[in-house]
């Protein structure tokens, strides 16, 4: 958010940055940006010792305007030229008001780069991270091609280029982080590897042309509107879960980072070499959330478990050159807490500090820029769940949502956008004291690929662990890949079959078996019969399903003893048949025939793949395979239920 052109806060000319200048809080954006661009005497001295003017390439990002403004205030006699696309004209106006020259340029255009003024000192800040999953070719072009063009064009200048600590492998959180001698070998993910490519381009041309330079491996610059502190504070104040899987990070005040980068112009090498820039501490994300919770009088919600490794850098070399950063961590926490409490502006660019797989998606925010809030679902939220489950074509109606939310010992979580609009969900359905189903992990299209599903999944898993219950679920093949990484194991496969207008199945009950409609008085016996094949008590669910669609409910008996049953429920797009439990496949076929005899509209049924005879009879009745599922259990490959006796499940959301 650019402020009015040329406007500065009330620091008089000649003011120098020092400990005595650290405010208790920032009044507004003007006050913040004045502080960010106030130089120290050390910066003034170092820039005075560096000959020539300064060109800032990629000055339109998060750090560029304040870096260019800081350079101009530290060296008012030098030309400071800021280069960017300047798609927002206010950014250019702001810089010009500070005395910084501006040039609009597309750095991907070789001709435009060649036309830029050849100033002796170049700060290279261009790059691409957010939205990387959308157009990977552009990520590589910005992070590798552009550095090559710049390094070739400015071979006669000093070049200090921004890189990232993400070029390193994960290192132990018990030590002080990767040193500059640690080889750049990042985990999988195209962003981090493209950043290695950026460094290699500058190294190549530095070695080839003798260009002095430095590669700034920066970890998390912080200011009020952006950064890990801002992200964690926003999550805590909103009651949203904080993912602690990437449980530790380094961070530095943005003004300190910019000053160190500018001072590095005096410490360039040939060939260019890396320099780690960040704060000296290994900071716990959990501890940060707890610190903000104390300031907000809130209770933090955590998901995930801390890994023993993270992207961390050792900044001892930078400290030996420049000393410790001026602004301590505790002061930054106080500042950010005050800013967020007053709901002052945000840049709307989450750091995605939680990411461990190296895949950075677009920033998670609503179209209006409002943050999401997370809370437990209540029965009053059930109507809002229906459009969420209908969007991907699921079959649930309000009664399903209400049952799952109201189930005893269940947990249900929702993410809400402006207007109390439910945009993501995650529910658990416990069964007895052994296991529970995780269901309704849903995110509306507008908010997908931003980590919400994973956060809600982890929150459900954490809630079940706290109850001593093992998580289980039925996954699609796409979801299976995610759940395998979370520790789930395959148990068995099943398939959803759908018939738009099912044909009758002509099947007689086996000799000695009697079929009849299920009565309410049968439910106690049905629940007792179901206990062994299902592996847990689900009497409440069976009563609920019987009340939903009693016409479908039938039982099979032999000599007065139960030997099978079938239930069903109404759905948004089709009647759902299931669960169906029986002693053998012949009984199951007779039960499904009885259930289908009551239906003329679309019907779906989820059948374990092992039951070939039943599947064949369903095919003859007009059923076609629709969706495959994989039953999965966390940390266990042996099923709790007995698939030989489970001929239809209740549904992937109910087990």
- pLDDT bin (cut points 50, 70, 90) of residue 359 is low
- pLDDT bin (cut points 50, 70, 90) of residue 364 is very low
Rounded Cα distance, 15 and 95, in Å = 19
Rounded Cα distance, 437 and 473, in Å = 5
Structural contact between residues 247 and 285, judged by C-beta atoms closer than 8 angstroms: yes
Domain 493-648 maps to which CATH number in 3.40.630.90, 3.40.50.20, 3.90.420.10, 1.10.8.50?
3.40.630.90
- Exposed, middle or buried by CB within 10 Å (0-12, 13-18, 19+), for 445? exposed
Q: Report the pLDDT value the prediction gives residue 7, as an integer from 0 to 100.
A: 45
227 is written with which tokens? 């950064």
Q: Distances in Å between the alpha carbon of 461 and those of 442, 456, 634?
A: 15, 9, 9
Helices 477-485 and 452-467: crossing angle, nearest 10°? 60
Residue pLDDT, tens place only, 524-555:
999 999 999 999 999 999 999 999 999 999 99
Equal fold, 373-468 vs 493-648: yes
Q: Report the pLDDT value the prediction gives residue 458, as an integer from 0 to 100.
A: 82
Rounded Cα distance, 254 and 334, in Å = 15
Q: 510: how many CB neighbours lie within 10 A of its CB?
A: 15
Query: What mean pLDDT comes out for the span 307-322?
Result: 95
Q: Which one has a higher pLDDT value, 373 or 262?
A: 262
- Exposed, middle or buried by CB within 10 Å (0-12, 13-18, 19+), for 361? middle
Share the mean pLDDT of the chain. Answer: 90
Rounded Cα distance, 601 and 615, in Å = 20
Query: What angle (nearest 5°) sits at the alpha carbon of residue 521, between those of residues 582 and 555?
Result: 20
Longest dimension (CA), the chain: 102
Q: Report the pLDDT value the prediction gives residue 371, as an integer from 0 to 100.
A: 61
**pLDDT at position 132 over 50:** no
Q: Report the pLDDT value the prediction gives residue 366, as an integer from 0 to 100.
A: 41
Query: What mean pLDDT comes out for the span 387-400?
Result: 94
The DSSP secondary-structure symbol of 137 reads H
102 is written with which tokens? 């501006």
162 is written with which tokens? 């921004």
487 is written with which tokens? 């520790």
**pLDDT at position 365 over 60:** no
Place of tokens 């699609």: 476
Rounded Cα distance, 537 and 294, in Å = 41
Q: Report the pLDDT value the prediction gives residue 375, as an integer from 0 to 100.
A: 83
Lowest mean pLDDT among 375-384, 461-470, 511-520: 461-470
Residue pLDDT, tens place only, 175-209:
889 999 999 988 877 888 999 999 999 999 999 99
Residue pLDDT, tens place only, 415-453:
888 777 899 999 999 998 889 999 999 999 888 877 788
Rounded Cα distance, 645 and 532, in Å = 10
Q: Report the pLDDT value the prediction gives residue 305, as an integer from 0 to 100.
A: 86
343 is written with which tokens? 């709901």
Query: What mean pLDDT comes out for the span 594-600?
Result: 94
Count Cα atoms within 13 angstroms, Cβ side, for 137: 0
263 is written with which tokens? 């001072």
Lowest mean pLDDT among 74-83, 426-435, 599-608: 426-435
3-state secondary structure of 577: strand
Rounded Cα distance, 229 and 220, in Å = 9
Strand pairing of 646-648 and 514-517? unpaired
556 is written with which tokens? 């099979």
**pLDDT at position 478 over 70:** yes
> Quick one: 373-468 is in which CATH superfamily?
Gcn5-related N-acetyltransferase (GNAT) (3.40.630.30)
Percent of the chain whose predicted confidence (pLDDT) is above 90: 73
3-state secondary structure of 391: coil
Write down the architecture of domain 40-222+252-283+317-326 according to CATH: 3-Layer(aba) Sandwich (3.40)
Q: Report the pLDDT value the prediction gives residue 358, as an integer from 0 to 100.
A: 63
| Domain map (residue ranges) of the chain | 40-222+252-283+317-326, 373-468, 493-648
Place of tokens 């006050």: 31
- pLDDT bin (cut points 50, 70, 90) of residue 88 is low
Q: What is the DSSP string of 93-114?
A: HHHHHTT-EEEE--TT-HHHHH
Structural contact between residues 307 and 458, judged by C-beta atoms closer than 8 angstroms: no
Q: Report the pLDDT value the prediction gives residue 138, as an integer from 0 to 100.
A: 81
Note the pTM of the prediction, 2 decimals.
0.59
């Amino acid at each position: 958010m650019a402020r009015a052109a040329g406007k500065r806060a009330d620091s008089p000319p000649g003011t120098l940055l020092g400990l005595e200048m650290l405010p208790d809080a920032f009044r507004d954006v003007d006050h913040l940006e004045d502080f960010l661009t106030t130089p120290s005497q050390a910066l003034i001295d170092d820039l005075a010792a560096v000959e020539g003017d300064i060109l800032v390439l990629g000055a339109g990002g998060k750090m560029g305007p304040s870096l260019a403004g800081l350079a101009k205030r530290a060296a008012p006699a030098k030309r400071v030229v800021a280069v960017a696309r300047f798609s927002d004209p206010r950014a250019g106006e702001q810089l010009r008001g500070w005395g910084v020259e501006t040039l609009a340029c597309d750095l991907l255009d070789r001709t435009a780069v060649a036309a830029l003024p050849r100033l002796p000192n170049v700060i290279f800040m261009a790059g691409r991270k957010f939205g990387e999953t959308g157009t990977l070719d552009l990520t590589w072009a910005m992070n590798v091609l552009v550095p090559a063009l710049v390094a070739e064009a400015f071979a006669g200048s000093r070049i200090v280029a921004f890189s990232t600590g993400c070029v390193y492998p994960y290192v132990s959180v018990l030590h002080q982080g990767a040193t500059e001698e640690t080889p750049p070998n990042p985990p999988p993910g195209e962003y981090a590897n493209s950043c290695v490519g950026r460094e290699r381009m500058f190294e190549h041309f530095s070695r080839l042309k003798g260009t002095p330079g430095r590669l700034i491996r920066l970890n998390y610059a912080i200011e009020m509107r952006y950064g890990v502190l801002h992200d964690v504070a926003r999550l805590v104040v909103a009651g949203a879960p904080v993912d602690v899987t990437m449980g530790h990070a380094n961070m530095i005040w943005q003004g300190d980072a910019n000053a160190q980068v500018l001072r590095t112009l005096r410490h360039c090498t040939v060939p260019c070499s890396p320099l780690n820039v960040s704060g000296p501490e290994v900071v716990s994300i959990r501890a940060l959330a707890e610190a903000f919770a104390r300031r907000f009088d809130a209770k933090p919600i955590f998901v995930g478990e801390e890994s023993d490794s993270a992207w961390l850098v050792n900044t001892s070399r930078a400290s030996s050159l420049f000393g410790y950063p001026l602004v301590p961590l505790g002061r930054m926490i106080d500042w950010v807490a005050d800013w967020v409490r007053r709901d002052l502006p945000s840049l709307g660019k989450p750091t995605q500090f939680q990411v461990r797989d190296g895949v950075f998606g677009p920033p998670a925010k609503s179209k209006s820029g409002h943050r999401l809030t997370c809370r437990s679902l209540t029965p009053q939220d059930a109507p809002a769940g229906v459009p969420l489950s209908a969007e991907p074509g699921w079959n649930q109606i309000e009664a399903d949502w209400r049952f799952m939310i109201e189930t005893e010992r269940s947990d249900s979580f929702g993410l809400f956008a402006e207007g109390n609009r439910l945009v993501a969900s995650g529910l658990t359905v416990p069964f007895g004291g052994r296991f529970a189903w995780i269901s309704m992990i849903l995110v509306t299209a507008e908010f997908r690929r931003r980590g919400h599903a994973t956060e809600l999944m982890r929150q459900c898993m954490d809630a079940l662990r706290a109850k001593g219950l093992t998580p289980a679920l039925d996954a699609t093949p796409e979801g299976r890949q995610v759940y395998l990484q979370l520790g789930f194991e395959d148990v068995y496969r099943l398939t959803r079959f759908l018939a738009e207008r099912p044909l009758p199945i002509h099947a007689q009950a086996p000799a000695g078996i009697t079929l009849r409609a299920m009565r309410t008085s049968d439910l106690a016996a049905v629940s007792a019969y179901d206990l062994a094949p299902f592996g847990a008590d689900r009497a409440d669910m069976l009563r609920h399903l019987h009340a939903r669609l009693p016409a479908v409910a039938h039982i099979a008996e032999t000599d007065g003893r139960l030997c099978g049953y079938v239930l069903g429920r109404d759905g948004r797009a089709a009647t759902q048949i299931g669960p169906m439990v029986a002693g053998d496949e012949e009984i199951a076929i007779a039960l499904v025939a009885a259930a289908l005899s009551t239906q003329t509209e679309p019907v779906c049924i989820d059948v374990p793949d092992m039951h070939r005879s039943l599947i064949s009879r369903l095919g003859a009745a007009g059923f076609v395979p629709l969706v495959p599922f994989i039953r999965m259990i966390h940390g266990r490959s042996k099923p709790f239920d007995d698939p030989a006796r489970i001929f239809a499940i209740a549904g992937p959301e109910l087990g």
